[in-house]
Amino acid sequence: MTPEEKRVYLLLKAVIYHYHGLDEAEKLDLDDSATKLDAAEQLKWALDFVAKDYLTAFDRARVFLNEIIGDYTKEKRIELINMVWQSNNLKGYVTEMEATAMLKLAKDWNVEKELIELVLK
């Protein structure tokens, strides 16, 4: 995974986790993901991005990610949206706010149908 892909991956997780307020299990998952990816620097960047303004973090991340994700293959976009969905399921549920946020991203990335199919499985 390139440094940019690590940044995208961790920003996605961080912004969705912070959408309702980061809990301890989510913080541990972010730390674990960064360790597995050797991406401490990218995690710090993602958390700083969110902390800059929690209220606008999702919208700012959406703009940032849309500029980068547009160049990714459809398979890579599906993989990223699936990763976010699976990560949110670690706690056993996905809130309506989180699901709405993921649907917005999936629509932006033209993988809305694929996300819905993943959810229905």
| 54-83 pLDDT tens trace | 899 999 999 999 999 888 999 999 998 888
Name the residue type at position 15.
V
CA angle (14 as vertex; 11, 20 as ends), nearest 5: 140
Note whether 83 and 89 are within 8 A (CB).
Answer: no
pLDDT given at position 70: 81
Query: Which residue stretches of the chain have pLDDT < 50?
Result: none
Q: Is the dihedral of CA 72, 56, 23, 101 positive or negative?
A: negative
Name the DSSP class of 93: -
Q: State residue 18's pLDDT score.
A: 86
Predicted pLDDT at 14: 93
Residue with tokens 């986790």: 17
Average confidence score pLDDT of the chain: 90
The whole-number pLDDT of residue 9 equals 92
The reported pLDDT for the residue numbered 78 is: 92
Indicate the domain borders of the chain: 3-120
List, as one string, the DSSP characters of 40-56: HHHHHHHHHHHHH-GGG
